[in-house]
Amino acid sequence: MKAVFLRNLKGFTGHASLYELDEEIGYGMDWNEPGKPAGYTRHVVVSATDVMDGPETYIFPADGDGVVLSWQEMPGSYRGGLDHAEALRRMGATIYDQRGQACETPLIELLERVPEDARAWYEHGPMNHSHIPYGLLCRRAAAEIRSLTTKLDQCLRVVREYVSSELADDPSQDAPSCELYPLIELVRNTTVK
């Protein structure tokens, strides 16, 4: 089943997005006919949030505008992570972009999926071997990427605030010939989480 990302949604705790499915799926339970779904939809909202009990990612049936049709969690919903792609995979779907291209799993997610105790032996020659703890190395790399991403986001927030205050004081600085212009372009072309 394909799940096409449509847009991010506001008004949710955490990160929520609307997806369109390439086939109808049932949701809820019809109380008059046990075993029969209450309704069918081709749209779902996936919401990832970190609550008091820990991280959770839930899938809810929705209409094409992103309005949730039932707050009963759908199959694929899970606790212990904040990953839309993982929830949709558990549902049996793969995320596609609006051009129909399958979305690549982010590198950090791939690194975090490698078991921490995964190891390999490499034979350099008949008498020379190396033990490589690649699971541990993948986890360290993922942690470093997350740390650097957080630091970058913090830096970009500071730059964005600075640029906004400078432009509020003097809007004429938004010209290619001005010293502030490279920072303005950086802020415009970089997404801050």
Cβ neighbours for 128, distance < 8 A, ≥ 6 positions apart: none
Split at pLDDT 50, 70, 90, the class of 193 is: very low
Cα torsion 180, 185, 188, 191: sign = negative
- pLDDT tens-digit profile of 28-72? 887 888 888 989 999 999 999 888 778 899 999 999 999 999 999
Residues pairing with 125 in the sheet: 128
- pLDDT tens-digit profile of 58-108? 999 999 999 999 999 999 999 988 888 889 989 998 887 777 676 666 777
Please tell me what DSSP assigns to residue 104: P
Cβ neighbours for 52, distance < 8 A, ≥ 6 positions apart: none
Share of the chain above pLDDT 90, in %: 32
Whether 165 shows a pLDDT value over 60: the answer reads: yes
Per-residue model confidence (pLDDT) at position 191: 58
Whether 134 shows a pLDDT value over 70: the answer reads: yes
**Which comes out higher in pLDDT, residue 15 or 188?**
15
Per-residue model confidence (pLDDT) at position 103: 67
Read off the pTM.
0.54
